[in-house]
A and B are shown apart, each in its own frame.
Chain A
Amino acid sequence: MYPDPIEQGLARGWKVIDASRLVRDLVLEADVAIVGTGAGGGVTAEILGAAGLSIVMLEEGPLKSTRDFHMLEAEAYRQLYQESASRKTLDNAISILQGRCVGGSTTVNWTSSFRTPPATLAYWQREFGLGALSGDGLLPRFEMMERRLSIAPWHVAPNANNELLRRGAERLGISTGVVRRNVRGCLDLGYCGMGCPTNAKQSMLVTTLPAALERGATLVTRARVQRLARRDERALQIEASGLAAGGIEAGTSRVIVRARHYVLAAGAIGSPAILQRSGVPDPGQLVGARTFLHPTMISAAFLPERVNGYAGAPQALYSDHFLDDVAIDGPIGFKLEVAPLHPVLFGMTLPGFAARHAELMREFSRAQVVLALMRDGFNAESPGGIVGLRRDGSPVLAYPISEFIWRGARRALLAMAEIQFAAGARKVYPVHEDAEGYSSWRAAKAGIERLAMKPRVARVVSAHVMGGCGMADDPRRGVVGVSGRHFHVENLSVHDGSVFPTSLGANPQLSIYALAARNASLLARELTGRPAPVVA
């Protein structure tokens, strides 16, 4: 058995409170209250804690750790994901994966680590006045977080699922690169999406959060932050509900936290929802708008040999060819990666039922799956989606898929099929209700050209929710400034993926780590009057 750093910390007296077990209301005070313990919340907690500030963290999900991670889909999705991994956009056209546990999405993510692409930063400078992040602006933050989270190029031979992407791409003259991963002593198991059972993945759960707890921070789990109470320009307290025993809906207990400063890091969808529930001033109706997804198309190939897509680091290789061959604000570009394969997600993703479905499932071990992540938000025709609230206050994202995006989706399905045939696939199935399996690139090309690109018929997924509290140099264009400070509430910041004014065109975690490190350091300096600590 691997040691469980959380269990050990609890034994040493870490202050962790499960709000679903509270018998009376809880009131806490701190210098800073942080909502959400994912990428943004974790980094913020470590840096502010190291600066000597007292911290309370509030997290809606449960505290699960090494001993709970059994590499079983049957347990993981329900315990660790938003809405049991069945979150969807308003019209059910896009399935959304997000974490809901201590460590947030970093506890379940696939460890691929990319710096923010320079073209994206240049676009932000031009369109949103974010020059401070361009050029070398974020460089020291990237370097610090890469050291802190052991981010390095993956040095083990990629599994067949990844290798086939390279093989097919190379034969077509398309270049691929090696993914960098935040791992230490990774056993190449391939179960990152269910919580790493060996502590190899350097998620927030085993890095920044333990560091903050070790310095005395308080963590309240299963506490859903409902609203931020405010008088004029100052936030006064955070109000959260302890969840009921099932851990899903709000129960009757309340948690109140009063702090000098408040940091929202509940993730995209989560953070805008809190601002909306709180009625924080939003004259431009910007909160929740411009929420991006990297809408992702899926192509499944079947090979003559076993691929065993469940084993081995999920993502080892990628291609930016189809991002780089278009202007950033031209037709939508897409990044190619592969998806780790496990029976439940695979079964849910394959279209059809009865014999058609069963036959493909029997080929599970020979399946190879490529993903195309579309770079949304850089063109007037991809303005993203809008977060809103249901009557019960829970958030939902409306994301209409424009013709502009559907055209990209078709190009993506074509590109993936061509690569998969070049890699030796016997059959390729674009994931689409009407697509039959194609046996040759020619047949696939003709077939994909004819597929109807419509919601719920062409399958679209996302594991990268971004935006909704966009940053800009001007309150007319953004919800927060470049340092994450809210434009209308002076003691409020947002430090998570919701601050991006567009999508990234790269997997988000490292961009969030670096930006949170930058803005937490600025905040630490402001609150303590001393230079911020360097955590690595």
Chain B
Amino acid sequence: MRDSNIRMFTRRDFLKVGATGAFVLASVRLGRSQPVPSHRDGVMDAPALDAGAREVLAAIVPVMLAGALPADRSARSERTAATIDGVDHAVAGLPAHAQRDLRDLFTLLGFAPTRWLLARVRRPWREAPEREVAAFLESWRASGWALKQQAYQAFHELVFAAYYADSESWPDIGYPGPPVLD
């Protein structure tokens, strides 16, 4: 009785990666030399993202936020770093299934062959020219492939949420912040 009534969705439905994506993901997992740190239950705000994921973000964040980040170099890198921390914090607050999907995505992007195959970024993220990163984001944004669209939208949501949650971004957009109650 029990199981027949339960509609099970698998992660593959969720990611909708299709056969190719699933295959790619499986080979990345096999080829990966170190295990990805697993979600540590209960440790509030233990970093959710590993160094590889942070490197991908370090390339994506300044491109997504072009035009919003301050022009001054040091202010700019400070705000970029704060945004990456904000994304990390946000990911740590997501349920396990969402964290797992994001980790898979960062693994795909961190692995050179799939980085090139899927994102068309030739050099490692820390050396990737902004132009190439912007082209990658734009092509995923406009892609007809659900995996790419969803991944782009996840970045979009995480990066803009982290940036505009920070009161330092408010003066530029004319938001005075919450009223003071007495």
Which residues from 125 to 182 on chain B have a C-beta closer than 8 Å to any C-beta of chain A? Answer: 134, 137, 141-142, 146, 149-150, 153, 156-157, 159-161, 163-166, 169-170, 172-175, 178-179, 181
Residues 382-409 of A contacting B (Cβ, < 8 Å)? 386-392, 394, 396, 398
A527-B164 Cα distance, complex, nearest whole Å: 51
- Contact flag A78-B90 (CB < 8 Å), given A70-B178, A86-B157, A347-B164: yes
B58 within 8 A of A: no
Q: For A342, list chain B residues within 8 Å (CB).
A: 175
Give how many A residues have a beta carbon under 8 Å from the other chain's beta carbons.
69
Binds B, one of A36-44, A244-252, A293-301, A418-426: A244-252
Residues 12 to 35 of chain B near chain A (Cβ within 8 Å): 13-14, 16
Q: Kindly state whether residue A11 has any CB partner on chain B within 8 Å.
A: no
Cα-based distance from A358 to B65 in the complex (angstroms): 7
Identify the stretch in A120-128, A211-219, A330-338, A361-369 within 8 Å (CB) of chain B at 4 or more residues: A361-369
Mark A170-211 against chain B: 1 for CB-CB distance below 8 A, else 0: 000000000000000000010100000110000000000000
> Do the beta carbons of A390 and B9 come within 8 Å of each other?
yes
Chain B residues with CB under 8 A of A90? 9, 13-14
Partner of B93, one of A248, A288, A350, A398: A248
Rounded to whole angstroms, the CA-CA distance of A86 and B14 in the bound complex is: 15
B175 and A246 contact, CB distance less than 8 A: no
- CB <8 Å contact, A456 and B153: yes
| Interface pair A276/B5, CB less than 8 Å apart | yes
Residue in A77, A245, A353 whose CB lies within 8 Å of B141: A353
- A72 to B165: give the CA distance in the assembly, Å: 8
* Cross-chain contact of A189 among B8, B141, B179 (Cβ < 8 A): B179
Is the Cβ of B165 less than 8 Å from the Cβ of A343?
yes
Q: Is B67 a contact partner of A91 (Cβ separation < 8 A)?
A: no
| Complex Cα spacing A304 to B137, Å | 32
Give the residue of A92, A282, A394, A398 whose beta carbon is less than 8 angstroms from that of B150: A92
From B9, B94, B142, A389 is in contact (CB under 8 Å) with B9
Some 23 contacts from A to B, beta carbons below 8 A apart, are A72-B165, A83-B94, A83-B98, A92-B149, A251-B41, A251-B42, A279-B5, A343-B164, A346-B164, A352-B141, A354-B66, A362-B174, A386-B7, A388-B6, A390-B9, A390-B10, A390-B11, A391-B10, A394-B95, A396-B14, A398-B13, A456-B150, A456-B153
Q: What 6 A-B pairs have minimum CB-CB distances, sorted nearest first? A: A358-B67, A279-B2, A71-B178, A365-B174, A388-B7, A347-B160
Report A's interface with B, CB cutoff 8 A: 1-2, 70-74, 77-78, 83-84, 86, 90-92, 189, 191, 197-198, 244-249, 251, 276-277, 279-282, 285, 287-288, 306, 310-311, 342-344, 346-348, 350, 352-355, 357-359, 361-362, 364-365, 386-392, 394, 396, 398, 433, 456-457
